[in-house]
Amino acid sequence: MFKGIKDKFKHKSAQKFLKEELKKPMPTVQRSKGITSLACIVDLDNFDDANLFYEFVEDYKLRPNAVKIIGYKSFYDKNSPYSTPVFSDKDLGWNGDIENSYVHEFLSREYDLLVNYYNRESLLIQLMSVKTKARVRVGFKEVDQIYNDIILDSPMKEFKIFKSELKKYLGVLNEI
């Protein structure tokens, strides 16, 4: 019973932290135009194949280690093998902190492009999006527009459409 109460308070403190962070400008990266590093936050509950994001290496002529992917699952078993680093609801700490080594490593870097590949609002995914330092943010129209600079209206399951639309808009913005 005590754990349930503790989790509620953690959730409430994270919501308060997120609300405060959204009042501030998003963390940005001071770099020149062009995409040299890319981060992807993927909702693995709704999109299975996070490895498709490595296609960006070839599309944007990036170094092989320039794409970092982290996946969110509402519940995951730490003993199960995942090809993508994963975080979940049980990683939520106090004051919006996410207690996961993959998350800390992901957030320690700066990116030119952040792909928010999720179409539902989830506290942990939103915290990750707010905390990630990126110059340009891309996501879907179903999510609050405050999280993204470029908003695409494509089905989440149609990765090829998303990828071609993103390339088109980045070309218009002289990013690629």
pLDDT, tens digit, for every residue of 118-150?
999 899 999 999 999 999 999 999 988 888 999
Domain count of the fold of the chain: 1
Q: By residue range, what is the domain housing residue 134?
A: 2-172
Predicted TM-score (pTM) of the model is 0.90
Q: In sequence order, what DSSP letters do the residues of 5-71 get, joined into one string?
A: HHHHHHHHHHHHHHHHHHHSPPP-----SS-S-EEEEEETTT---GGGGGHHHHHTT--GGGEEEEE
Looking up residue 136, the CATH number of its domain turns out to be 3.40.50
- What is the pLDDT, as a whole number, of residue 129? 94
**What gap in Å lies between CA 165 and CA 20, rounded to an integer?**
32
